Structure 1
């Protein structure tokens, strides 16, 4: 599965997370320590926020360790809020459109995990999208579809509720299709102001998630796995948790799928 990191606070160069630490995201692309696969070579991406409401976005299909453009951008771009991701595909071709993060308006989203039996329930889930959201689909991943579903469920006004309702929708779609629900959802997303993350799985084995504050700057991060142990105290986020970070602090609360049930088309 994938590795990712997100940062919120005083502006820093992207390389301070992507490349500089001893176990940076680029290092994790070839040698992850807390994932099923140590190699995450099916592309990468970065979304960052600056003076405009919508994020900048750079994605490519090369392994992160071999892209000199990524290192160059990391040395030049400073941001107070960015999301970075290295991909190990669990489905969908290795293409730029399938690389994370995904964006829509001011929102950005990235995911580590998968929807089990996705091809059997994909059509049911796509049918839940409005025509406008369906037209926004660019790639073929379960991750991007989760993001578009979240937007349709009110992400802009209710981030927690949107994720909870979409999680319930995926579980219900699996049951209607006659398969055991299998969802791993460790994701981060932002509107350029707050940074949210969720750690959940139907089998209680969700991909890892950590948070840390910085000793030398006003800022905090949320990551798949720690990228160094210098000047930071890493806190593992419990399974079935929802995290919200602002520049004033971090809140963590229990997360569960909504109880609402839908009649899903067969």
Structure 2
């Protein structure tokens, strides 16, 4: 999947490349009679930005979560020493929430992706595209 996304311009337009990768894999699966050919949670980073994708053909993906900004977590949970060691603006992306911290985890919706850069983030819909 990584190499297919690279072929479609992963370094230039990450979301579009992943949408084209999804479209290509689903089309190949459909041609060969594979039911629900894709189930994925994928994270990609260029060292400055992070994208995390959640998608499945059957529209029932495994879970994917991202953390609240660390500065906010520190304010909510000053008793947790480990949070003082994480860089300001950091985000954590996981398949399942770590611990039970109120306000710490946000689920990436089905057929969506999150983008984090410079401490800010956003969620967007993910639409498979033909290559």
The partner residue of 1:243 within 100, 110, 114 is: 114
Let me know the Cα RMSD of the aligned residues: 1.6
Provide the C-alpha distance between the structure 2 equivalents of 1:230 and 1:182, rounded to a whole number of angstroms: 35
Aligned to 1:157: 12
Post-superposition CA distance 1:178-234 (Å, at most 9, x none): 332321011111111101110011111101011112223522111101112347521
Q: Which fold has the larger relative contact order, with Cα–Cα distance below 8 Å and residues 6 or more apart in sequence?
A: 2
The partner residue of 1:180 within 27, 35, 43 is: 35
Provide the C-alpha distance between the structure 1 equivalents of 2:59 and 2:66, rounded to a whole number of angstroms: 20
Asked if 1:192 corresponds to 2:47, the answer is yes
Provide the C-alpha distance between the structure 2 equivalents of 1:255 and 1:157, rounded to a whole number of angstroms: 17
Q: Look up the SS of the partner of 1:250 in the other structure.
A: strand
The partner residue of 1:255 within 105, 117, 126 is: 126
Aligned residue runs from structure 1 range 200-215, under 5 A:
200-213=55-68, 214=70, 215=73
Unaligned runs of 5+ in 1: 1-145, 262-266
Aligned residue runs from structure 1 range 41-80, under 5 A:
none
Displaced runs of 4+ in structure 1, greater than 3 A?
none
Q: Look up the SS of the partner of 1:235 in the other structure.
A: strand
Provide the C-alpha distance between the structure 1 equivalents of 2:101 and 2:29, rounded to a whole number of angstroms: 43
* TM-score computed with the length of structure 1 as normaliser: 0.41
Quick check: which has more Rg, 1 or 2? 1
Q: Look up the SS of the partner of 1:238 in the other structure.
A: coil
C-alpha spacing 1:205/1:231, structure 2 compared with 1 (3 Å): closer
Q: Look up the SS of the partner of 1:150 in the other structure.
A: helix
Matched residues, number: 115
Q: Look up the SS of the partner of 2:17 in the other structure.
A: helix
Provide the C-alpha distance between the structure 2 equivalents of 1:233 and 1:241, rounded to a whole number of angstroms: 19
The partner residue of 1:168 within 10, 13, 23 is: 23
